[in-house]
Amino acid sequence: MKKIMSVLMILVTVFALMVPAFADNATGLGIDMWVNCADGYRLNVREQPDINAKQITRFDCGTKVRVLADAGNGWVYVTNEKITGYVMRKFLQDSKPGKYEITERDDHFVAVTPYTVFAKALNAKTDNSVGLRVKPNKTSQAIRRLAAGDSLQVIARGKVWSKVMDPLTGKTGYVANDYTTLF
């Protein structure tokens, strides 16, 4: 009788573990998503779905993760194939963020001796250029639209963006490196 009960308990346990796997497909879990946190911060990955739980690591913006389970209260259980833990769902999006949609982190910028660059046109059909932005992100508020040929003083250089001073307005902002040229 003890053996039958033991086998029955094992079967019940296995079945209980399988139910969430089947439910994931019905609820949209088990899908790939991408980290896109505000202001270039990294996303904290925690041991438990609680803001005060121990932090395991941080995921950079743009990191692809697989959502494994909904932990409730805005938390999801995710993996990037190396690390598994809990993150806030609001910092994930369905599609990979574009190069200019991720806000570059402050520690990516290196102060430089100021030098002049010129804004480039968006394409051959227009002299409109990119926006001079408040933050290094294309969705950030524009200080002003730059025209092709407008000069800027680079004061710090990042991987994707440069921190610049606009001689026309005297304001400091950000412009994408791909849309500036030295001549």
- Count of C-beta atoms within a 10 Å radius of residue 114: 12
Domains of the chain: 2-93 (2.30.30.40), 106-181 (2.30.30.40)
pLDDT digits (tens, 9 = 90+) for 1-10: 555 545 444 5
The Cα–Cα gap between 93 and 168 comes to: 37
For the sheet with 43-46, list strands across it: 55-59, 43-46, 84-88, 75-79, 64-72, 32-35, 92-93
Q: What pLDDT, on the 0 to 100 scale, is given for residue 19?
A: 41
Tell whether pTM > 0.75: no
Using pLDDT thresholds of 50, 70 and 90, give the confidence band for residue 15: very low
pLDDT digits (tens, 9 = 90+) for 17-69: 444 444 444 445 789 999 987 666 789 999 999 999 999 999 988 899 999 99
Higher pLDDT, 12 or 109: 109
Q: What pLDDT, on the 0 to 100 scale, is given for residue 40?
A: 65
136 CB-contact burial (10 Å; exposed 0-12 / middle 13-18 / buried 19+): buried
